[in-house]
Amino acid sequence: MITRAMAVLGAGTMGAQIAAHVANAGVPVVLLDLTADIARDGLKRARALKPDPFFTADAAALVATGGFDGDLSKLAAVDWITEAVVEQLEVKRALLERVDAVRRPGTIVTSNTSGISIAAMAEGRSDDFRRHWLGTHFFNPPRYLRLLEIIPTRETDPSVVERVSHFADHRLGKGVVVAKDTPGFIANHIGVYGVMQILRVLESGQYTIEEIDAITGPAIGRPNSATFRTMDIAGIDILAHVAKNLHLELPTIVSALVERGWIGEKAGQGFYKRDKTATGSGILTLDPATLTYRARQSPKLPSLDAARSIEDPAERIKTLFNGRDKVGQFLRDTLRPTLEYTARVAPDIAYSTDDIDHAMQWGFGWEIGPFAIMNAIGVGSGPEGRQSDLQILKAAKDCNRVVRKNAGASLVDIGDGVLALEFHSKMNAIGGDTVQMMHAGVKEAATNFEALVVGNDAPNFSAGANLMLLLLEAQEGNWDDIDLMIRAFQGATQALRYADVPVVVAPAGLTLGGGCEIALHGDRVQAAAESYIGLVEAGVGLIPGGGGTKEMLARAVEGLPATHADLLPFVQRVFETIALAKVSTSAADARRLGFLDEADRVTMNRERVMADAKAYALDRVREGYQRPTPRTAIPVGGQGVLAALKLGVHLAWRAGHISDHDAVVGRALASVLAGGSLPHRTTVGEQYLLDLEREAFLELCGERKTLERIQHTLKTGKPLRN
């Protein structure tokens, strides 16, 4: 096992971030470079990066730094050593020779090279070294890109591959593929070849950069950054380096940009250029013919607009590929040769077509991989992929084990006496259908199952309430209907909390507003490490109305003695978390903010979350789960705490830190957290706080500025400070 410590050699961009992510897993790391000062500077730069490579400051404290000359002996105390120094074979060989002299026999040694031969690096090393030697190619940034390519040599002990794969999967949350020792391994090999086809078409002058980025983004299941924005972010010089390793002819445009130093975002310009004097977005676009920059243009490609309504990415790609327009021609000129090339080289670079599909999904952000695309459009030879044994929801649905379903959610029998409640509305927004299925799920689980898991396989657990529905009801003045909606949702979250069977909630990605409230009311939580949890209602002029305000207060004061002198510090923390709409940057950060407690568990690998949640639910059954008793004596501070919170709101408003409507929302939140206008400190039951929560929510729905905030958020996706 890899448990004691890890060493990373090279504190550059990749080395420092690899160290950070291993520390995120709770493993101490020794980060070394030529000198201790260089290593310290590398760690300092990593800590300043946005997004943050560390989950928390506590994780950063697990990384110690040092220099090769004075600290290489520390390698004798670690289980895994990985090098991430400059991409030069002789430099790496020289360092590995020194490593071989100090490492403990049996210590795993790997390289993060993106393309140098793994076998060539280990030439001349000891037999034990070579048996424990392989490539581990992380993608940048390591915390956020899931792919890890593992590249064994003919001499690598298979058990070492298994140990590293297991650690990377379970502790680092990586999607592991095993690649052959060929230039570019899998993802870069296929990805860069595909980019070369696109650049070839760009140089023909038939398409603008904006048109190509519009086609090669979400329309065909690729990231928003599409082709040219991605190249600018990654670095055009990096693209050129990888292309040369693959012996691909560099397009003239790439050579010209590298020669001028226009290598992307780090140089301030590449295919795009930021220019504060530019009108509109402040972004200029390169004209490939003249190598000058011009104003960005909005591409007019009607077939892309029409394809947006096709949810299935395979069907969407097929429709666009077969189109008799500019988009279809582009895809036939670029995607077809890329797929045919992939089918041709697959046996040389990978051990399975599944690994190629996964490499492109996890490393390049493709929704579906090249062989799945081949199956969809009938190009090349694409065998059916193998379903992961972790896809328990999909497997259950494929076996017709859906117990009940409506437009917003489903109840699915996932085996072993566990029922799953899966959301599947747009962005998993919570509406009447979802709430109805929450009630039904609790009842069904109590009657016919032993446990309930609330989760899904989507990128985001839930973006919160259905704001459009709420806006329409408020604009019509349907206050009784809104009141019933709030009561129903509060009833659903309370039903989860006091179910007759254990309820494990499995959040991942965005878990906001009502989604957060659902997580707060589970018996336990099994969260993906990359969970962004928060009560964000203040951003749309509201407070949490589904039990979230009540639950955060109850958690904050839980366990305080009845005679505790001052509740204000505990209530103040909750007030700030909700009023400032704080969202965790990770599951570890969610624990700090109070959204997760010590009993809740975290899964590093997103694909394992539902399986782990099911296992946790069964653990709770075996432990003899007992339905909790509703809380009837929650301490509240009354008028004293209310006055203090309102004073803070007033001072923030006077100082210009918050807007007029922020102050209105803040005062409403303060009233709930203080227990209303009670004259002094006392204790209250949950229903009392739920009623305060509901009343405050309703009052805020009647505010014109709240409706303006909701409208603005629905239109722009951004909050309005009015």
pLDDT, averaged per 10 consecutive residues of the chain (722 residues), comes to: 89 97 97 98 96 96 97 97 96 98 98 95 98 98 97 98 97 98 96 96 96 97 96 94 90 96 94 78 91 94 93 95 96 96 96 97 96 87 57 93 97 98 96 97 98 97 96 95 97 98 99 99 98 98 98 94 81 98 98 97 97 98 96 94 97 97 98 93 95 98 97 93 91
Domain stop point among 144, 161, 178 = 178
pLDDT of amino acid 630: 95
Distance spanning both ends of the chain, measured CA to CA: 55
Residues 109 and 15 in one domain: yes
Contact in structure between 74 and 31 (CB atoms under 8 Å): no
Quick check: helix, strand or coil at residue 636? strand
Residues 193 and 170 in one domain: no
Residue 645 inside a domain? The answer is no
Long-range Cβ contacts of 233-241 (<8 Å, 24+ apart): 233/264, 233/265, 234/140, 234/264, 235/263, 235/264, 235/265, 235/266, 236/262, 236/263, 236/264, 236/270, 236/271, 237/263, 237/264, 239/192, 239/195, 241/87
How many other C-beta atoms can be found within 10 angstroms of the C-beta atom of residue 300?
Answer: 10
Residue 641 inside a domain? The answer is no
pLDDT of amino acid 115: 86
Type of residue at 40: R
Q: What are residue 533's DSSP bridge partners?
A: 511
Residues 226 and 161 in one domain: no
- Strand locations in 288-414 (E): 292-295, 402-405, 409-413
Residues 322 and 426 in one domain: no
Domain stop point among 351, 377, 403 = 377
Residues 29 and 166 in one domain: yes
Closest CA to 455 of 419, 506, 397, 492: 506
pLDDT of amino acid 354: 95
Residues 521 and 582 in one domain: yes
Residues 409 and 307 in one domain: no
Quick check: helix, strand or coil at residue 489? helix
- Taking the CA atoms of residue 624, residue 613, residue 464 and residue 24 in that order, the dihedral angle to the nearest 10 degrees is 120
Closest CA to 488 of 454, 438, 424, 536: 438
CA distances to 222, 278, 642 from 658, in Å = 39, 31, 18
Distance of CA 610 to the CA centre of its chain: 15
Residue 144 inside a domain? The answer is yes
Residue 672 inside a domain? The answer is no
pLDDT of amino acid 705: 97
Helices (H), 261-325: 302-307, 313-321
Residue 422 inside a domain? The answer is yes
Q: Is 582 left (phi over 0), alpha (psi -120 to 50) or beta?
A: beta
Residues 137 and 241 in one domain: no
pLDDT of amino acid 389: 64
Type of residue at 144: Y
Residues 344 and 450 in one domain: no
Dist CA 64 CA 61 (whole Å): 8
pLDDT, tens only, 231-262:
999 999 999 999 988 889 999 999 999 999 99
Measured at the CA of 584, the angle between CA 60 and CA 430, to 5 degrees, comes to: 155
Domain membership of residue 340 as a residue range:
187-377
Residue 649 inside a domain? The answer is no
Token pair belonging to 685: 């039951």
DSSP letters for 662-683? HHHHHHHHHHHHTTTT-SS-EE
Residue 136 inside a domain? The answer is yes
Distance of CA 404 to the CA centre of its chain: 29
Token pair belonging to 418: 């566990």
pLDDT of amino acid 564: 66
Give the CATH number of the domain where residue 101 resides.
3.40.50.720
pLDDT of amino acid 561: 76
How many other C-beta atoms can be found within 10 angstroms of the C-beta atom of residue 322?
Answer: 12
Helices (H), 11-146: 13-24, 36-48, 57-60, 68-71, 89-102, 118-121, 127-131
pLDDT, tens only, 569-598:
999 999 999 999 999 999 999 999 999 999
Give the CATH number of the domain where residue 527 resides.
3.90.226.10
**What residues contact 602, with CB distance under 8 A and at least 6 apart?**
526, 527, 528, 529, 587, 588, 596
Question: ω before 51 within 30° of 0 (cis)?
Answer: yes
Residues 156 and 297 in one domain: no
For 249-265, give one letter per residue: b (16+ CB within 10 A) or e.
Answer: eebebbeebbeeebbbb
Residues 252 and 322 in one domain: yes
pLDDT of amino acid 348: 96
Token pair belonging to 609: 């979350």
Specify the number of domains making up the chain: 3
Domain stop point among 616, 631, 646 = 631
Dist CA 621 CA 502 (whole Å): 7
Contact in structure between 6 and 20 (CB atoms under 8 Å): no
User: Among all chains, which residue has been given the structure tokens 């379970």?
Assistant: 170
Residue 709 inside a domain? The answer is no
Residues 433 and 364 in one domain: no
pLDDT of amino acid 385: 52
How many other C-beta atoms can be found within 10 angstroms of the C-beta atom of residue 647?
Answer: 11
User: What is the rounded radius of gyration, in angstroms, for the C-alpha atoms of the chain?
Assistant: 28
Question: ω before 679 within 30° of 0 (cis)?
Answer: no
Give the CATH number of the domain where residue 319 resides.
1.10.1040.50
